[in-house]
Amino acid sequence: MRIVIQRVAHASVTINNTCKSAIGKGLLILVGIEEADGKEDIEWLCKKIVNLRIFDDEKGVMNKSVSDIDGNILVISQFTLHASTKKGNRPSYIKAAGHEISVPLYEEFCKELAIALGKEIGTGEFGADMKVELLNDGPVTICMDTKNKE
């Protein structure tokens, strides 16, 4: 699994001119799933995400996690995170898993992340044309890939 985490002041996702989810201070997470991904990837990411110390403490040092600040999380599926641009100018998405693999893993990831956070998280809609708005705070943007844990 490949994710992009953005620390946000607020974020939302709109589908067909209707706001599906909106959060205040917290994390916007874009997630891409490939065929080799599984439960172990979800567990590793969820633990890392809720404990990642990227929010300022009282001294202005990034020393607090989303859990510490009682922040929120919005998760958006994004197969384009697995784009390959090695050949030509048109990206290839061959590494991105198909719906039969991605949908259950995306749903499981969201469920496990909500459990790890201890509250509901916002989500987009898998496969939908989504309009995502955010106010990146910092900016702080971090990329993680479960294939590069070390």
Residue given tokens 């790890």 in the structure block: 116
CATH number at residue 16: 3.50.80.10
Amino acid letter, residue 119: K
pLDDT score recorded for residue 95? 86
Q: Which of 78, 109, 123, 146 is catalytic?
A: 78
Is residue 109 flagged as an active site residue? no
Average pLDDT, the chain: 95
Q: Is 44 helix (H, G, I), strand (E, B) or coil?
A: helix
Instruction: Evaluate if residue 31 carries a pLDDT over 90.
Output: yes
The one catalytic residue among 14, 18, 55, 80: 80
User: How many structural domains does the chain have?
Assistant: 1
Determine what percent of the chain is predicted with pLDDT higher than 70: 99
pLDDT band at 124 (very low <50, low <70, confident <90, very high): very high
Range of the structural domain that residue 60 is part of = 2-148
Whether residue 103 has pLDDT greater than 90:
yes
Task: State pTM to two decimals.
Answer: 0.94
The b-or-e profile of 64-98 (16+ CB within 10 A means b, else e) is: bbbbeeebbbbbbbbbebbeeeeeeeeeeeebbbe
Burial of 123 (0-12, 13-18, 19+ CB in 10 A): buried
- R_g (Cα) of the chain, nearest Å: 15
Residues 79, 109, 123, 146: which is the catalytic one?
Answer: 79
Active site residue 6: no
- For β-strands 72-77 and 26-32, DSSP reports them as parallel
Residue 59 and residue 86: Cα distance in Å, rounded? 44
Give the amino acid at 10: H
Establish how many alpha carbons lie within 13 A of residue 82's alpha carbon, considering only the half-sphere containing its beta carbon. Answer: 21
* Catalytic residue check, 78: yes
Q: What is the pLDDT of residues 37-89, one digit of tens each?
A: 999 999 999 999 999 999 999 999 999 999 999 999 999 999 989 888 888 89
Please give the pLDDT value at position 134: 98
